[in-house]
Structure 1
Amino acid sequence: MKKFELIATAAMGLEAIVAKEVRSLGYECTVDNGKVHFKGDELAIARSNMWLRTADRIKIKVAEFKATTFDELFEKTKAVHWEDFLPENAEFPVSGKSVKSKLFSVSDCQAIVKKAIVNRVSSYYKKSGWLEENGARFKIEVSILKDIVTLTIDTSGHGLHRRGYRVGQGEAPIKETLAASLILLTNWTADRPFVDPFCGSGTLPIEAALIGQNIAPGFNREFISEEWDWMPSSIWDQVRTEAEDLANYDQPIEIIGSDIDHRMVKIAEENAFEAGLGDIITFKQMQVRDFTTMRENGVIVGNPPYGERLGDKPSVQRMYKEMGQAFEALDTWSIYMLTSDEEFETHYGKPATKKRKLFNGFIRTDYYQYWGRRKRD
């Protein structure tokens, strides 16, 4: 099989987690800002799309070169062996971005790359005039950073956060990829209780259940590269069979999601059933200050209101204080909260064991981690 240079794109601050996932699939990788680079064949493309919980997309890096003029961009793009990827009827929209480069007009760069590819493919397939573009879709991106051009093809289609289970959502839903990252940053294992006291549309509990039962995040969706003639359907069949074989549906699991809004609880339940997990996640309407438990060694992960996102700051900070009081007795539980409020520890009433800077969309946040004292049975 042919080897490709692959890029798993990642949200800022999550690159190391994505890299750990890539390595767990058996591929060596290197980490860059917003990217994890690795090499693999067609099977690697399918497996990384199916299994990476925290990456945004999987792209093929087709070429990389320096260009400071439009002529140079055209000629170097045209020199790429596009026929290795694109059939003669391929549909290939070109998107673009340019940062700190002489070629700063993105629309012009897109047009030139498109023209160069058309020129190359037309010549190869001996077609005159414009190509039909009524076949499989190949999303090409020209990205220019400090005059270095990178040409990629997206293998995912919809972003990998689109798991296929979200039938409803609230005003400020957390992305599935970030939710999975928050869980993978904890010390939770499937034999311990997992609680999200701000569950909203249920993303964190659903992602925890997928992780706990080792269910591939891409199992319930399709990918743009499934349409490509050089990606045999047998590869996708193999990857889906592998995902089915590795899923541990019999793993006992205790996951609870609660929210103050009964409408969100209903949406969370609907999303969990869409994911096939409705029978193993418990959702209930409850305020965080009312949380109690007799269980030990559990993990609480929450994405509470920030004040700037939902509600007003004083009431949110009052809720942080009530939460700290409610959780005070849970000394064997580990607690993880994501918020942009820099005064969180003051209102919660306790300094975090550790905190990590992350971005929730464009909002800079901190992930406050409180590690519980592990009690052995």
Structure 2
Amino acid sequence: MDEFEIYLVCPPGLETALLAEAQEKGFADPTANNGGVTIRGGWPEVWRANLELRCATRVLARIGSFMAFHLAQLDKRARRFEWGKVLRAEVPLQVQVTSRKSKIYHAGAAAQRIETALRDSHGFTVDAAAELVLKVRIEDNRVTLSLDTTGEALHKRGHKQAVGKAPLRETMAAAFLRQCGYDGREPVVDPMCGSGTIPIEAAEIAAGLAPGRTREFAF
């Protein structure tokens, strides 16, 4: 896979902020849609998006799709899919399925079929506790396969030692700062300082620090 679609997830309503950030960071063909932004690239872009984007919640690598109108067809096409081009048999993974407006409406049954196909066709280890997650979205009978390359959500930057009882998520703070027009040169006053999420994000933006610099990712 040299180039593929990469989906940047964000809270609904903050797509415009994430789109502007993706454009600013030089990602190819950014397009906003409900709940996120789509870009194109390869694995280096996946790694960079996880490391550099402040407004994204997680980064999904879309590895393929096909149509399926019933469980038997899903099973057959999942077995034929070239999983080996992306996944390694020695790395356990878990399968998460959502279904919407499709003839295959039972997400649990769909997950079972895909898990069996992964085991039987390529000998993969499927484990509900695995860090690597295969996200399967079935919508309008199209099955879209994505790898969650992030792991713990990106608002968990990895360098904050203490938080309040109900802290603002760092990704949302970064998006709000962007919506306010903050670029790292203006003074920031936060009357609701709490555990300091907004001032810390503002300071990191001003210092040019990558938000993911002190954490690990599922990839």
TM-score (norm. length: structure 1)? 0.54
Structure 2 equivalent of residue 324 of structure 1: none
Q: What is the CA RMSD across the aligned residues, in angstroms?
A: 1.9
Structure 1 equivalent of residue 19 of structure 2: 19
Shift of 1:166: 3.0
Cα distance, 1:104–1:160 mapped onto 2, change above 3 Å: same
Shift of 1:75: 1.6
Distance in 1 between residues matched to 2:97 and 2:162, nearest whole Å: 31
Cα distance, 1:147–1:18 mapped onto 2, change above 3 Å: same
Instruction: Name the % identity.
Output: 33
1:192 maps to 2:186: yes
Larger Rg: 1
Do 1:113 and 1:142's aligned partners in 2 also have CA atoms closer than 8 Å?
Answer: no
Do 1:6 and 1:58's aligned partners in 2 also have CA atoms closer than 8 Å?
Answer: yes
Partner-residue secondary structure (3-state), 1:108 = helix
Matches within 5 A, 1:1-377: 2-26=2-26, 27-122=28-123, 131=125, 137-225=131-219
Equivalent pairs counted in the alignment come to 216
Alpha-carbon displacement from aligned partner over 1:315-368 (angstroms, at most 9, x marks no partner): xxxxxxxxxxxxxxxxxxxxxxxxxxxxxxxxxxxxxxxxxxxxxxxxxxxxxx
Structure 2 equivalent of residue 312 of structure 1: none
Larger relative CO (CA 8 A, sep 6+): 1 or 2? 2
Shift of 1:108: 1.0
Return structure 1 stretches of 4+ with deviation > 4 angstroms: 130-133
Distance in 1 between residues matched to 2:126 and 2:55, nearest whole Å: 36
Distance in 2 between residues matched to 1:61 and 1:32, nearest whole Å: 15
Do 2:6 and 2:62's aligned partners in 1 also have CA atoms closer than 8 Å?
Answer: yes
Structure 1 residue runs of 5 or longer lacking an equivalent are 123-129, 226-377
Distance in 1 between residues matched to 2:32 and 2:126, nearest whole Å: 39
Do 1:4 and 1:39's aligned partners in 2 also have CA atoms closer than 8 Å?
Answer: yes
Partner-residue secondary structure (3-state), 2:7 = strand
TM-score (norm. length: structure 2)? 0.91
Distance in 2 between residues matched to 1:44 and 1:189, nearest whole Å: 23
